[in-house]
Amino acid sequence: MLLSVNANCKLICEMEKRFIPVSVDVGNSEQTLTLGWADGHQSKFSLFGLRKNCPCVSCRGGHDMMGRFEPQLFLVEPTQTFKIISAESIGNHALKITWDDGHNAGMYRWDLLRHMDESVKKLKQSYE
């Protein structure tokens, strides 16, 4: 029985690596935010898509819209540029971004960012 517990723990630990960031690279001149994950994956987000998908209650349009996002906004031609003033880790669960427009209310959960990346990739593949 101990072996199956250890095997389950290993599987869970491997799955959790998907949501553990190891690097955050702000590229204001490139208009990107790049995240490195503990499982070796790398996610690259457009700043336009991130800002337009701010997870705060105000930007989402109410509590019932929390956790929802629009992956297509990462694939459109940006209509404006954004700059990240600061990006700080909030505990082990989120990234808080302060934008050049003064907005900083959204906390981008690590799991939400990873799911955003996967959703954008699926959407992009559907267009090909």
The three-class DSSP label of residue 56 is coil
Quote the number of domains for the chain.
1
User: Each residue's pLDDT tens digit in the chain (128 positions)?
Assistant: 333 344 444 544 665 888 999 999 999 999 999 999 999 999 999 999 999 999 999 888 877 777 789 999 999 999 999 999 999 999 889 999 999 999 999 999 999 999 999 999 999 999 87
Strand ordering across the sheet containing 84-90: 84-90, 94-99, 107-109
CB 119 within 8 A of CB 74: no
CATH of the domain at 42: 3.30.2020.30
Written as one letter, the residue type at 12 is I
The whole-angstrom separation of Cα 82 and Cα 95 is 17
What is the reported pLDDT for 13? 61
The answer to pTM > 0.75 is yes
2 CA to centre of own chain:
36
Containing structural domain, residue 66 = 2-127
